[in-house]
Structure formats: structure tokens, C-alpha cells
Amino acid sequence: MSEKKAMRLELLSLTKAYPGCIANDAVSLQVAPGEIHALLGENGAGKSTLMKMIYGVVKPDSGQMTWNDREVNITGPAHARQLGMGMVFQHFSLFETLTVTENIALYLTPAEYGTLDLLRARILAVGDEYGLAINPDRLVHSLSVGEQQRVEIIRCLLQDIQLLILDEPTAVLTPPEVAQLIEVLKKLAHKGCSILFISHKLHEVNALCDKATILRGGKVTGTCIPRETSPGEMARLMLGDELELQDTMPAGNAGECLLALDKIEVKPRDAFAIHLQDIELQLHAGEILGLAGVAGNGQDELVDLINGELGSDSGSLIFHGKDIGNTSVQERRNMGLGVVPADRIGRGALGNMSLTENNLLTSYINQTGKFGWLNWPAIKARAAEIISTYKVKATGAEASAKSLSGGNLQKFIIGREILQNPNVLVCFHPTWGVDVGAANLIHQELIKLRDKGAAILVISEDLDELYLLADRLGALCGGRLSPLAPKSAVPLAQLGQWMTGNFGTLSTGISTDTAAAEVAHAH
């Protein structure tokens, strides 16, 4: 009789319910030592809730968890860390004004790190061992997003790590950083550390993971061996046989210039802001312009500038032939500008407000009656239309924004803006944290809006998304804009160079439009 294989983690019928929703319904899975295990599912499938139960953030209603073949009842994240679990959340929890060493010290107890000098030496040693080199004395605000992720991973590795949980770890990384992270994870797994990997990038799951568990509606609906399963097959396991993914999109037909930025400069307003310098771009009707770039290189400032929340120090911003540099956010909305911000809660929606009320946040311009009277039945009907069209998982139009998963709230915000038929739409991370089926739907709706004659600016760190959607491509680095060129003239290696600030012709002082023409001609 063969012995039962030892398991690092085993979940038996773990269940968690909230009012009106069963987030996890008798979920069972096994993770072996040294196994890289993917957790897949559409938005609202219950992945985040399950990870929070494993890490002790949320207490299960019923079910059993075993850790190294012993039943455990994890009382909180500190208890999970004592057992040897570490988790890197999608949104980092670092203090920008503290050094790397100080941030990691806050995560550990004094008994665990001794003195700051000893901790500094350990950070350097772990960085060398795993290829995660970082300067322990640097302030976090001076680090790139990829470097900040290194800090999060290093502080997990400083403990006796046996399970590392990663939530969308590659969403904010450049291609070289993704390749490096994959090598780090493989090295960790080779040393016996188990890894739970949540990602919507199925080609990465396909290349990295040993096994995958699929969740639908809070239940386990299947498992697969990713290296033996194509990304398309995994998507169908997640979302059903009716899913038809598009891997190409039709090209746009650029018309008149609707939005132009001419020699724009925006000086930093605080210590953490980016200096926008000599920004020149034209956005045409019937096209999608895609801008790549690592987070923190001026994307926030550019979006706030176009939206009217930030003024320029020099240069002009022309919308429909009119200089709108001194116009308000509301005036720009009235002219036909729509914006999907990066921050879902706080900027895109208010968590305590219903979806009906959140619909009104930006659509009041075209959904208010005479003299500003509100037609609540019509506003609620529009919210219901967004929920239906964009397949938003919610209990109804009166559900609060904070009751939705991040991906479902993103679908609602995107739908709210598109259904207003803006002339110009700025989308900042349009599919951030959104499952493959929802991303496919959002992409199709953006193409439809473009083909109606809208000009669309997509700012994303997902290069696959940019190459799928964009008619022209460019990149932001350090507050400067690369040349803008037709997608066919920008191979991935070229875009990667632009993301690092190697602009080539732009550094000679040639305008972006001229540089774009030269790049296109050269190819």
C-alpha cells in the first residue's frame, strides 16, 4: 500500500458566505511542496476571498485547512507568517517616505530582524541569492514599480518561507521584469517553496505553473495541467464553451485631430510628482493611441492634465480646435471628453454609493432633465443597462460599489463612460484586474466606439493589450513622451527601449509627429 503524498496546503470544503452571495462554496484544493499552483477564474469567482482565508485575513464559515499535514485554524496574517506563509498583494503596502530597510522592519518583529544594520545585510544577501538586487537605503518613492515588488517579495523571503501567494504579480511589470520574476519563482519552487499564483495572463500560467484550479461562481469546476493546456482551453474552462476570444482587432481609420497637446510642460506639484516635459501628441477621430510605460513615469499627471484636474505651466491643450487649458473638468465633460481613471475606488467610483448613484457621477451631464432635475427611473435604468451589457456581477442597480469585485467594478466604470458616447475617451488601465472574458468584451466595445468616430487614448502596462487595440504606439518614461508610430512599425523590442527612455530620434529635438513619420518610413 503506497503512502499518501505529503501536502504543503490542503483545503477541504472551505466555505465563506456574505449577505446575498456565497463567495466560496465548499472549495477543496491541494498544493504540494515545491509546486507552482495557479488559481484561475473570472472576476467574482472567489479567488481573492479564498486567498484571504488561507492568509488569515478572512475567517471561513466552515471547512478545514491543513498545513504540512496538520489541521490549522489561522487566526490572522501574523499567524500565517509564523507558519511560513507570505503574500504579495496586487496593491503594495509600502510607505513611500521610508527606506527599503525601514519598510521591511515594519513587517517583522524586532526579534526577527535584530538591528537595522543586521536587517540591511540580510536584505542584500537575499537579493543576491535570488537575483532581486535592491539598495536597502533607497526611499521607496524613488523605486520603480518592479523594484517595489522586489521589496515585497524580499520581506517574505526573510522568513522561513514555505508558501508564497502572489496576486496578479506581473500586471505592473515590463517584459524583462516579468522574465526575471518567473526565474525567481522557479528558483524558489526548486528549493521546495510552494507558490499560489493568481493571474489573468494565461500564457504566463501556461509557461510557469505545474497545476491549475479553476473557480466559477465560488465553486471548483475543474483542474488542469497548464503546460498541457492551451490558454484558449483554460479560458473556456474558466468562462464556458460560448467564449470566443479575439486575438486580432480591425485597424482604425484615422480622421480629423480631436485632441492635441503642443509642447506641454507640467512642473511637479509635490515631492512625488513627475515633471511632464515637452509633451506633443495628436489624437485623431477613429483611432486608438496606445501609451506604454512603467507606473510612475507621468501617466497620472498626463491623465489629470487632459481631464482638467491639473494645469500646465506652458504649452497648449487643444480640443475640437479650442484651447481648453483654463476650462474645468465639467466643461470638458460637456464638450465630449470621457475618462476612465486608474483608481476604481475613490476616483472611478465611491464605495458606499449604489451603482445607480455611481452612474450619475459622470453621466449627470447627459442624464439630467430640464433645469438640472434628476430623472431617477431613467438613471437607474441606465445603470441596469450597464450591468446587463457589460455582464457586471451585482445584485442589482442598488448594490453598493464596494460590494463588487474589482474586475466587476471596472466593467461598470468602463461601461458608464462608453455608453455616454464621448468624442474623446482616455482609458487608464482599462482592463486592470479583469478576467480574460471581460477584457475581451471591453476591447470589443472600445473598438465599436472608435469605429463610431471617437478618438481613444489607452494608457496601459499590459503590452499585449496595447498591441491588440492600438493603431499607433508610444511610451512614457520620466515624464517624457517617445515618438508615436504606427503599430506595425513598433516591434516589441523598440517599445521596450522607449519604456526605458531610449527614444532615439526624440532626443534630437525632432517633434513626435516627425519622429513617428521617420520611424514608420524606416520600417
CATH number at residue 410: 3.40.50.300
Distances (CA, A) of 205 to 27, 131, 197, 202, 320: 21, 21, 8, 5, 44
96 pLDDT band (50/70/90 cuts)?
A: confident
Instruction: Pull the grid cell for residue 325.
Output: 487649458
d(CA 308, CA 214): 43
Which of 174, 209, 239 is the last residue before a domain boundary?
239
Q: Are residues 60 and 204 in the same domain?
A: yes
Within this chain, do residues 173 and 312 fall inside the same structural domain, yes or no?
no
Please state whether 235 falls in left (phi above 0), alpha (psi between -120 and 50) or beta: alpha
Domain match, 154 and 281 both: no
DSSP 213-247: EEEETTEEEEEE-GGGS-HHHHHHHHH-TT----S
Query: 467-519, pLDDT tens digit by residue?
Result: 999 999 999 999 999 999 999 999 988 998 899 888 875 333 333 443 333 33
213 & 266 share domain: no
Q: Do the domain assignments include residue 152?
A: yes
Does some domain include residue 4? no
- pLDDT above 90 coverage of the chain, percent: 51
pTM over cut 0.75: no
Query: Which residue, of 211, 239, 267, is where some domain finishes?
Result: 239
Q: State mean pLDDT over 143-159.
A: 85
Over residues 211-228, the mean pLDDT reads 92
Cell of 470: 492600438
Same domain? 269 vs 194: no
476 and 371 within one domain: yes
Residue 267 has φ and ψ, to the nearest 5°, of: -80, 150
In a domain, 235, yes or no: yes
Examine the pLDDT at 522 and tell me if it is beyond 50: no
Whether 210 and 262 share a structural domain: no
Residues 375, 517 within the same domain: yes
Task: For residue 226, tell me if it sits in a domain.
Answer: yes
219-223, 409-413, 510-514: least confident range: 510-514
- Please report whether residue 205 resides in a domain: yes
Q: Which helix (H) or strand (E) holds 48?
A: helix 47-55
Higher pLDDT, 176 or 54: 54
Residue 44, in any domain of the structure = yes
Half-sphere exposure of 165 (CA within 13 A, CB side): 23
Tell me 132's DSSP state: -
Helix (H) or strand (E) holding 40: strand 36-41
The per-residue pLDDT for 335 is: 92
What is the average pLDDT across 302-307? 94
Whole-angstrom Cα distance, residue 142 to residue 507?
24
- Overall number of domains in the chain: 2
Is pLDDT of 191 > 70? yes
Q: Using one digit for the tens of pLDDT, what is the confidence trace for 153-187? A: 898 888 888 999 998 887 767 677 788 888 889 99
Q: How far apart are the first and last CA of the chain?
A: 66
251 belongs to a structural domain: no
73 lies in the same domain as 181: yes
Among candidate residues 213, 239, 265, the one where a domain is terminated = 239
The answer to whether position 441 is within a domain reads yes
Average pLDDT over the chain reads: 86
Q: Which domain holds residue 73?
A: 9-239
Task: Give me the mean pLDDT over the 69-94 stretch.
Answer: 89
One domain for residues 323 and 185: no
Q: Are residues 337 and 457 both part of a single domain?
A: yes
Residues 383, 293 within the same domain: yes
pLDDT-derived band at 520, boundaries 50, 70, 90? very low
